[in-house]
Amino acid sequence: MAALSSSPSFRHLLLLRPRLLLSPTCLAGSFSRRHIHGRRRLFSSASSSTLTHGEASSTHGDADGVVEVNPPRGTRDFTPEDMRLRTWLFDQFREVSRIMAFEEVDFPVLESEALFIRKAGEEITQQLYNFEDKGGRRVVLRPEITPSLARLVIKQGKSVSLPLKWFTIGQCWRYERMTRGRRREHYQWNMDIFGVPKVRAEAELLHAIVLLFQRLGITSSDVGIRVSSRKVLQAVLNMYFIPEHLFTEVCVIVDKLGKITREEIEKELISTGLSSEAVQGIINVLSLKSLSKLEEVLGSGVEAVADLKKLFSFAEQYGYADWICFDASVVRGLAYYTGIVFEAFDREGKLRAICGGGRYDRLLSTFGSEDIPACGFGFGDAVIVELLKEKGLLPDLSRQIDDIVFPLDEELEGPASSIASSLRKKGRSVDLVEDKRLKWYTYHIFLSLLLCLKYSF
């Protein structure tokens, strides 16, 4: 650029390559060297702060015909700042998936309603955004991703070889009561494994979750993962000779443990036709927090106990044993789970479950296909962002620009465009600034320079 700068036709053209990113506290006068980022070079002067030209404010009009500026209740807009955070988080999801050798897939947000309507009394079936399209078809905005994944696996058939290790990041919709970290739309990272019947698959999924937490700066003192198995509840029901067809209904009810009172749980279980003795037996077993205690009650030969012992053994070998704990009350509310289930929680108890999943070996047959062993998890974006805020772990994601080019008069607009084009072809991020923005940039440039000079002595 030295040759260009020395040319008479470019003598009034300034090319700035910013290096300093100033925080709001820095602009207020509290500047320190930690605000300096040295990855970018400086041409001719210092830099601006975040290089955004103010913040647009939205107003609500009262006159008839003025559009409501807020998005529908429970949904979100994403400003540039919000998008930087979302992109960063999704990049973390994708990097962990890459490390774990998973391949990315995707599906339409709009699906057939039949894919999500099940005879399980699940709460999710009451939370669907469903309607009839113009062709008379019943459709739904997907409330979760696993059924869409199952549909794609069935569609692919024998054209793919097992095991499948797939992940996706997709938007989901549920019309539900909103709390902190719970919205009516959210994005969800799913990782699923098809074709591995052994507990190794669940161990791999838990490893991925822990890797993600560690990348975000979250520790096992911040977050734990409760683990159990649907087979525990099945073993208890067998002890009391409870009919198989009641299993799913009982799962949906006991998933409310900790959310409603024990008396309410007992009342709902009795309403299904269970005896008081069976209800007490179920609740007593599901209150256990020790795998050894569970083994005393059910015996070591029970499949649920053997699976869980194997999983905890894997956890030791992977090095994440301090992250997981046994909790028999974890059954998960979705009907299709068949084996080990798990959910991550913040240890301070301020937030809802961070993520959850488990084994679902019999899901494909509910859609008329041959079953394939499978397990997976869903990890939403809203709760983890709340946790990162709580722990002060949100990253500094200031706007990043390599170069600023601006002409000081109209005659130099053409040469300025030429230089911007040349730099952009080299892959640099370039902002071509008009005169009306020059005053704003100049103020921050000289403020940055003065602060640098002040703190250099």
What phi, psi does 110 have (nearest 5°)? -90, 120
CA distance 166 to 69: 38
Query: Cα(29)–Cα(45) distance, rounded to whole angstroms?
Result: 20
> Would the annotation count 337 as a binding residue?
yes
Residue written as token pair 């795998």: 291
Strand partners, 141: 110, 129
Question: Hey, which bits of 98-210 come out as E strands?
Answer: 103-104, 110-112, 129-132, 138-141, 164-173, 185-194
Q: Give the pair of three-digit tokens for residue 406.
A: 């601006």
The angle that helices 200-215 and 80-99 make with each other, rounded to 10 degrees, is 140
Is the Cβ–Cβ distance between 186 and 171 less than 8 Å?
yes
Give the full edge-to-edge strand order of the sheet including 355-359. 103-104, 164-173, 185-194, 374-380, 355-359, 340-346, 223-229, 324-326
366 annotated among ligand-binding-site residues: no
Single out the residue of 345, 304, 307, 306 nearest to residue 324, CA to CA: 345
* Residue 192 counted as an annotated binding residue: yes
Q: Are 79 and 53 in contact (CB under 8 A)?
A: no
Instruction: Provide Rg for the chain, Cα atoms.
Output: 28
Q: Which two tokens stand for residue 198?
A: 């052994």
Q: Any idea what the Cα angle at residue 390 is, between residues 384 and 391, rounded to 5°?
A: 90
Q: How far apart are CA 217 and CA 385, in angstroms?
A: 12
> Residue 260 has what DSSP assignment?
B
Integer Cα distance of 365 and 399 in angstroms: 49
> Is 332 flagged in the annotation as binding?
yes
**DSSP string covering 266-306:** HHHHHHTT--HHHHHHHHHHHT---HHHHHHHH-TTSHHHH
Structure tokens at 13: 């053209």
Give residue 78's identity as a one-letter amino acid code: F
The answer to whether residues 181 and 388 touch, using CB atoms and an 8 Å cutoff, is no
Report in angstroms the alpha-carbon separations of 357 from 28, 145, 214. 47, 12, 19
- Residue count of the chain: 457
Binding-site residues sit at 144-146, 174, 188, 192, 332, 336-337
Binding site listing for L-histidine: 144-146, 174, 188, 192, 332, 336-337
